[in-house]
Structure 1
Amino acid sequence: MDKSSKSKSSLSVQTIVLAEIAWAVAALLFFLLFSVTAPGEKRPFWYSAGTSFFEAIAFLVAAFLCYRNWRSPQIVSGRNVWLFIGLGMFCYFIGNLLFSYWELNLGIEPDVSPGDFFFVLTYIFLIVGMVLAVASRRLNLEIWQWGIVAVIGVLGIILAGAVSLPVGAPVQSVLMQPVAAQTVPAKPSPKAPSGKANSKAATPEKSKPTPAATKSAPATTAKPSPASSGQPIPAIATEERANTPEWAKSLEELLSPLKPILDWFYVITDILLLIIATTLLLAFWGGRFAQSWRMIAAAAFSLYIADIWFKYATNRLEGYQSGGLLEVFWVFSGVLFGMGAALEYDLSSRSRSRSGRRRAS
């Protein structure tokens, strides 16, 4: 019975790990094949839905595996550790669903969405869980190891600070630009010919035909004007914006002042996660449970990479659309958290069974 249960446990962890790796590879291929678009071309709906699907499944599975660890009395590193990490995974899953609904179904990309509240909880729960993991283990790091932690922390601060500062004016979101283009340039565009006509004729009487042009112009120029600039995104976004429910627009305006606070929150928590992940990696290095916590540390690093890239892209790349190649690291993060939880469960089960055998003997 012991051998069969051990083989089943071993098969189960192998199946989970292989499935997680396969999911990560599939996500990477999906991003590699379909993330590149022509300049000014909007990413298709199915691609954005696919990226959200890969992230959602990765974090949902990770939440379930962490929940399994929390329910097991055999977990050596502490059940509360996996409770908070699992809550973080589940909150990210909910936040991703809300963000996807906001972006795909409502057709808007606000500075702050309701999903951000769950993303905030994700970071809080992850930091608490990883701090509990560090606190449960006596840290006997050497001076050079503390030096590594300090160097990585400083580099993380410099990198996060560099990408958080926009170049010149703040870059507006992709879907907010068409609104400005419609409300501001729509009026001057018909007046531009009248201005030239006035300069040639030098009479105010020729300025009267311009209202007729302004009445007929929006019906014909509202859609072609973005195409003339080589960017078809504004026309599509304007139509989507027109179909956006009023409650969503009002909620967007209500939440938008929170953007500076959330930006600083994400920067600080990313740096904390980076430092804690480095400390975990060095603290558990070489032990029996080093393999699982290496996965957790790698998951935190992947989360940091994806967050930093997204912040860089939204601040430095004008007209950036979500779904870039490096956003696959969000999928990697969920996969690695799940692998770490599965390995921890397997190692803890084996450790308890061995200790039970020794007591029986």
Structure 2
Amino acid sequence: MKSSYKNSAQISKSIFTTQNIVLASIGWGVLALLYFLLFSAKIPGADGVASRAEWYLVGTNIFEAIAYLNAGILCLRNWRSPQIMSSRNVWLAIAIGMISYSLGGIFFGYTEIVLKEEPDASIGDVFFVLSYISLGVGMILAVAARRINLEKWQWLIVGAIGVFGSLLAWWISMQQATGEQETIVTILNWFYIVSDVLLLIIATTLLLAFWGGRVSQSWRMIAAAAFSLYIADMWFKYAQGPNYQSGEILEVFWVFSGVLFGMGAALEYDASLSRTRRERGRKRG
């Protein structure tokens, strides 16, 4: 019994290596991109109105949900690891954000595909709001745990990206601010816009602060994930209107975001284990 347990544990370790996780994540992102490119065309219906196939929309939701769920599981693995270099609370917060985003996407897809409804606010927004709050907390904790000592030119980059991101978000929101909206919808819209800009600024700061460090690769992935989330959210906000249909090509950046968060978590885990092995080797030496 013990030998079979050891064999299964060894097999799982050999399969779920960081290299395999990263390759699988890249493969998932490439498959998602091909799926969006090949099948996102609108098909004329019996009523003459062009729309995307329902099976295609189901597929986009599956790609997105699995990407974020996988990222959440990998972040939870980091949270449970006592060897992790970054604060475990950082990864717990990001894990909650990833799983919440996955659930939000599932509820959004169910409302759109199964119920055939497109409400301005739904139960999925509860999980999306929780995901943004959790992601913000996790990334702020990551910044706070590291002494930020950026050069002046680096602060200029952070400021420039913050200004550009804010202006773009404001311009898009003004374009879409037509007619009367319910108070809750207006609050949600501005919450998402402000959250996207803040995550963009924090991601830029993290990217510059961790550049060249021991965990630089993992946090480059996290920063790229935040940039991808911003691109997808801004496109979604820009494209919304009476003729909007889910599944536009730029929405693949939601999948990319989940994939990159997962890759960042896997690389951090691997770097932490490597450091632990080096420290043990030095003690033995």
What TM-score does the superposition give when structure 1 sets the normalisation length?
A: 0.72
Q: CA deviation at 1:287?
A: 1.0
Q: Is the aligned partner of 1:119 residue 2:128? A: yes
Contact conserved, 1:10 with 1:346, CA < 8 A, in 2?
Answer: no
Q: Which residue of 2 aligns with 1:65?
A: 74
- Could you tell me which residue of structure 1 aligns to residue 269 of structure 2? 345
1:7-46 alignment, distance < 5 Å: 12-38=17-43, 40-46=49-55
Q: Partner letter of residue 353 of structure 1?
A: R
Alignment match, 1:210: none
Cα distance change, pair 135–167 in 1 and its aligned pair in 2 (3 A): closer
Write the letter of the residue equivalent to 1:89: M
Which residue type is aligned with residue 320 of structure 1? Answer: Y
Measured after TM superposition, the shift of residue 166 of structure 1 is 2.6
Cα deviation code 1:227-274 (max 9, x no counterpart) = xxxxxxxxxxxxxxxxxxxxxxxxxxxxx5411000000000000000
User: Displacement, 1:169?
Assistant: 3.8
Which residue number in structure 1 is paired with residue 216 of structure 2? Answer: 290
Change (3 A) 1:9 1:359: farther
Alignment-derived partner of residue 314 in structure 1: 240
Equivalent in the alignment of 2:172:
163
For residue 165 of structure 1, give the secondary structure of its aligned residue in structure 2.
helix
Q: Say if 2:100 is the partner of 1:91.
A: yes
* Displacement after TM superposition at 1:324 (Å): 0.6
Larger radius of gyration: 1
Higher RCO (CA < 8 A, seq sep 6+): 1
Q: Take 1:9 and 1:80, find their aligned partners in 2: how far apart are those partners?
A: 28
The verdict on how the C-alpha distance between 1:124 and 1:167 changes in structure 2, with shifts beyond 3 A counting, is closer
- Distance in 1 between residues matched to 2:91 and 2:110, nearest whole Å: 29
Q: 1:298 is matched by which residue type in structure 2?
A: A
Q: 1:211 matched to which residue of 2?
A: none
Equivalent AA in structure 2 for residue 49 of structure 1:
V
Counterpart of 1:141 in 2: which secondary structure?
Answer: coil
Change (3 A) 1:92 1:279: same
Q: Structure 2 unaligned segments of length 5 or more: list them.
A: 1-9
- Kindly provide the CA deviation profile for residues 273-319 of structure 1, in whole angstroms up to 9, marking residues without a partner as x: 0000000000000112100000000000000000000000005xx40
Q: Which amino acid aligns with 1:156?
A: G
Contact 1:295 1:340 in 2 (8 A): yes
Q: Secondary structure at the match of 1:166?
A: helix
**Structure 2 Cα separation of the partners of residues 59 and 168 of structure 1:** 30
* Alpha-carbon distance, 1:30 to partner: 0.4
Structure-2 separation of matches of 1:335 and 1:171: 37
CA gap of 1:283–1:9, structure 2 versus 1, over 3 A, is farther
**Structure 1 residues 69 and 295, CA gap change in structure 2 (3 angstroms):** same
Aligned length: 270
> How big is the alpha-carbon RMSD for the aligned residues of Structure 1 and Structure 2?
1.8
1:91 CA displacement: 0.4
Contact 1:63/1:338 (<8 A) preserved: yes
Alignment gaps of 5+ in structure 1: 173-255
323, 331, 343: which is aligned to 2:255?
331
In 2, are the aligned partners of 1:9 and 1:346 still within 8 Å (CA)?
Answer: no
Instruction: Give the structure-2-normalised TM-score.
Output: 0.91
Q: Select which of 28, 44, 56 maps to 1:47.
A: 56
Query: How many angstroms apart in 2 are the aligned matches of 1:261 and 1:91?
Result: 19
- Alignment partners' CA distance in 2, 1:350 and 1:266: 38
Q: Distance in 1 between matches of 2:70 and 2:15?
A: 19
CA distance in 1: counterparts of 2:180 and 2:243, whole angstroms: 8
Matches within 5 A, 1:79-228: 79-166=88-175, 169-170=178-179
Opposite residue 119 of structure 1, the aligned amino acid is: F
